[in-house]
Every structure is written in structure tokens, then in C-alpha cells.
A and B are shown apart, each in its own frame.
Chain A
């Protein structure tokens, strides 16, 4: 091989070779057929580091076609650096159209959030997952946790959650809050805030989860029961915020705290930037909104 030539390395559509895509596609189908079960797959090295969304990227690369419209968010925002980077990657290797608008996307890859705008039946939500095993922090050994799933032996998880209640008066898990899928598998929703858990329940969209470093793929088909673990005397509840979004005035959305100065001044704004921009474009105002509307980004054409 001649290292000086320009075509020293060429890549397939969507980066992955076809054999790899087939392997991942087979895993996705098994994941859909066994909701919440973590399907082992021979995860590949990707051109971004493990831990930076390689599982999600492999899933997206295996399902994406030239007609798809892709949205990528990190922390709910389209403009966070890693979201920008992954979106640019797919623009480059798959030449697909990208968008920031939730409603216009056919595939949404996400890290840590589910969009506020309700998803519809044609959409696929791809989660980037760091540690797919919800029992991992209770039992570090894969050989043990696999047995626990096989036997549907989830007592340890309930004990852990109940210890929280005994110690803190409540379940002190605020994100990556474990769920039970279709009454069978205890599953990790990825490190989304528990605020987003109810959105997974009977969602019309297909939800796919990719954990690259840990080599697992799992899925929640549309209209599938996703129940956050809880107790009769301590029912599951989501985070609430005392104030609406300072920019668009939205309530019942997940907010980020933005530090305004070094004297403790802060404000709360929508974590979902697309949702916030849409609302402001529609004329909604929060108490700190700038006068001018931010025009929402149009779908960028394929390159």
C-alpha cells in the first residue's frame, strides 16, 4: 500500500463495511424481537472514541439510507460539540440531509435526552449508551448479571432502590433510572434524566440503543410498556422545575441551569434547543428572552 497516494484509505457508504452492517442489523432485529434484552454484538472501532457515541453511531450507520433526514442531539441541544461532530460525520460519509427540527427527522441520534416534541410513528430514536447493564453498579460481573436477567432475578435492584428510601427518604437516582420493558427485562434507559422516562412508555417511535464499548444493542419497539421501577409507598415521580424557561416560557419541560455571573445569578432555559427556538419563533416569550426572534435553522440540504 502506498501511504503517499490520496486514496490510501477509502470508506463505504455510512463508513461501516457491509458485513459489519449485516451483523449489526441482525442484532437490531433480535433486539426488537426481545424488547429490553441486551444483544451482544461485535462492536467495531469507530473513527470517534469509545464513550463518545460509538454504539449510537454504529446503529445509525447500519440503518441509515440516502433518503433519511438525521438529527443529532447531545444534552438536548443540536449545537453541542459532539452533536455537531457526529452530524458532520454522517453528512460526510452518508451524504444524508440533516436537520435540527425534531418533527422533520427520520432518525434522531441522542445522548442524554429525549426531545420534548412528541415523536411519531415513522421515526427512529437512537440512544448512545455508556453502560447498558442496569445491574452493573450492583454487580460488576457480566457472568452474574446475565444470570440475573435469565432468571428474571431483580431483587438486588429493588433492595438498592429501597435502601435509597431508607437513607434519603426517596429514591436518589435522578438519571439512568431503571425501567422494566414489557414486564420482563430491567433495562437502562441510558443516562437520560428520569424526567424523560415516561416518554419511552408506549412511544410511537422505534427506540434503539447502542453501546459500542460494552458491545450491546437493545431496543424498545413502538407501543411497548416501559415502566420506571418504584414502590407502592414511593411511586416514581419526575423532576419538576419551579419556574418556566426564561427564554420561551415553556413549562413541564426539562431545563438547564445557566450561570449568569459569579454572584449566584442563574436562569433556567430549555435543554431542548429546537423546542425552545420553535416556541420563540411562534411568539412565546420568557422573562429573559431577547427582543429579536432567533430564526430556526432550516433543513440543511445534503452535500
Chain B
């Protein structure tokens, strides 16, 4: 398939209702950090962008939201063409300009504080990170506390960035500034807003 065909195929079949379905999953996940929200396959983006991450991008990104792609995604012309065609989102020049960042390889990703953190007056002007993960259960267990969590919650995404727990701690300390994270796994997603306090569970 050539890039032109790839870039046109694989969008939402029902843009209005699919976008709503995906958004509600993200909203519920953001409101209840650590819960896993199931999501049917609604988008078929070119690899290495995943169906879930692609659907998240379709439901949230548009001309008003510069998107930053990590090197593996950046390297794929078809991914850029697909995002450009379906969302119209411009590519951000640097992580600090991005409203959203799509990260296919979280393990190698830039530090959290390299993305837009918002300002003390406008902490909402920060990057939302969309991390592609293989699943939400096979990695080291993370214990979560904070708003949206009654007592504690747990999630175990594999292949997270280096020093992730420490980076999240610093992200907490920057509050109200900071980044929010959407973990996009095959068939499901989960969120870690900047308020969530994360500890590594002892094995």
C-alpha cells in the first residue's frame, strides 16, 4: 500500500460516535487513575502507531494542537501522513511546544520535564503524553495514590521510561505544573495525571 492510501484509510468509521467513545474512556481513566478502560479497535493507523494510540489522537488532536512524535514515529512518513490527514494537527518542533506527544518507545523517551509543563498561572498549557505500551499488567507493579483513587490502585505497564517513578515524583512536586500521561495498550488504556503519586511495589 502506498503512503497516500495508508494515510486516508484507517480513520474512525463513525467519527462522531467513535470520538465520543474514546473520549469517555480517556475521561474515566483520567478521573480514576490506574483503572483500565477497555476500548474496541476503532482506528487502524500505520505501524508503529497503535490502534489505541491512534484512536486517542483522532479523538483529541486537531489543527489547534501541535503534536510531537518520538523518533520511531517521526521516522515513519506514513504515520505523519496519517495523523496529518485525519487530525490536521501540526507537528511540534520540540517536545516543549507540544500539546500532545506520541511515544512509541517509552523506554528511550526524553525526560518528562523536557515537555511543556504549563506555567504557574496557566498550568493547563502542558503536554499530554500518549505512551504506547504492550499491556498494562506484565511490568513492574506501580502502587498509585491521589485524587480519583479511593485508597490505592495498581497498574503494571512494561517498558516504562528510565527512572520513571522518580520522574513522576518530580512531576508531582511541580504541581500545579506538570505533564499528564495516557498509557495506550492494545484494546485498553489507563491514565496517570500529574496528581497521581506512584510507588514501586516491592516484589
Residues of A within 8 A of B (CB): 12-13, 18-19, 21-23, 25-35, 37, 39-40, 62-66, 121, 146-147, 149-151, 182, 184-185, 202, 204, 206, 219, 221-225
Contacts and interface: CB of A to CB of B under 8 A. Distances in A.
Interface stretch (B70-78, B105-113, B121-129): B121-129
A222 B32 contact: yes
Contacts of B123: 34, 37
A25 B121 contact: no
B195 A18 contact: no
Q: What's the dominant secondary structure at chain A's contact region?
A: mixed
Interface string B125-150: 01010000000000000000001111
Given A18-B16, A19-B62, A33-B180, 10 more contacts: A19-B64, A26-B60, A27-B124, A33-B194, A35-B147, A150-B119, A151-B120, A219-B31, A221-B30, A225-B147
Interface of B: 15-17, 19-21, 23-24, 26-28, 30-32, 59-62, 64-65, 99, 119-124, 126, 128, 147-150, 175-176, 180, 193-195
A65 B21 contact: yes
A206 B119 CA distance: 25
A25 B124 contact: no
A28 B27 contact: yes
18 contacts: A12-B16, A22-B19, A22-B59, A22-B60, A25-B23, A29-B180, A31-B124, A32-B31, A32-B148, A34-B195, A37-B124, A62-B23, A147-B121, A182-B195, A204-B150, A221-B31, A221-B195, A223-B150
Contact of A146 (B32, B121, B193): B121
Contacts of B28: 206
B94 to A, nearest CB: 20
A34 B148 contact: no
B23 A63 contact: yes
Contacts of A27: 124
Contact of B15 (A18, A121, A151): A18
Contacts of B64: 19, 23
Contacts of A21: 19-20, 23
Given A28-B27, A32-B27, A223-B147, A150 B194 contact: no
Contacts of B19: 18, 21-22
A150 B121 contact: yes
A8 to B, nearest CB: 21
B17 A224 contact: no
Contacts of B30: 29, 32-33, 221
A230 to B, nearest CB: 22
A204 B149 CA distance: 9
A63 B19 CA distance: 10
